[in-house]
A and B are shown apart, each in its own frame.
Chain A
């Protein structure tokens, strides 16, 4: 049973436009949410995170929104750049700082020049 879901396997966006990647989760005990980015033949790299006490966190072109009542989060990238083309994983963890992180299946983003 998947606890973290990313229902769009792929997404194509024009360069300069906004990319919106969506994620849903089922476990209400998750306390911390993260986004990772992965290029081929490399390990995932941490991108941005948000605590369950917040509803928005912004870092440069990347913003993560959290809607706890809907158990939904999204990652906005604006403006999108060709170098953003990668697989994006939504992930969630529990209450302690070392809790294991549960990953979604990923969304492959293609930014078209």
Chain B
């Protein structure tokens, strides 16, 4: 597609449940990034993929968070045993190189109740 697609756009889940958030990057973009944005804050880096491998996962807050990109295109961010503090907008971006800036999707708004 023309842009970065994220599904679902909104997700409400109960505390303790497992969720998966999906990102379809721009075709041909080898780099894929996940960010999290809480209210009143800027996007916070979570993980970056170059191709199929996670090149930098230093931003994942704990081992409840995991992301995969098995074929080097679509990526899934997985959150186990969700907590209310996980509520945020999860943004995905893709890039050929950061020199031109990322292209972000519209995000998935996750609400843990």
Contact = CB atoms under 8 A, between A and B. Distances in A.
B100 interface: yes
Nearest to B48: A100
Contacts, number: 67
Interface stretch (B13-21, B61-69, B72-80, B101-109): B101-109
A43 B44 CA distance: 13
B45 A102 contact: yes
A98 B102 contact: no
Interface string B47-91: 010100001100100000000000000000000000000000001
Nearest to A36: B101
B101 A100 contact: no
B40 interface: yes
A97 B99 contact: yes
B45 A100 contact: yes
Interface of A: 4, 6, 9, 32, 34, 36, 41-47, 49, 89, 91, 93, 97-106
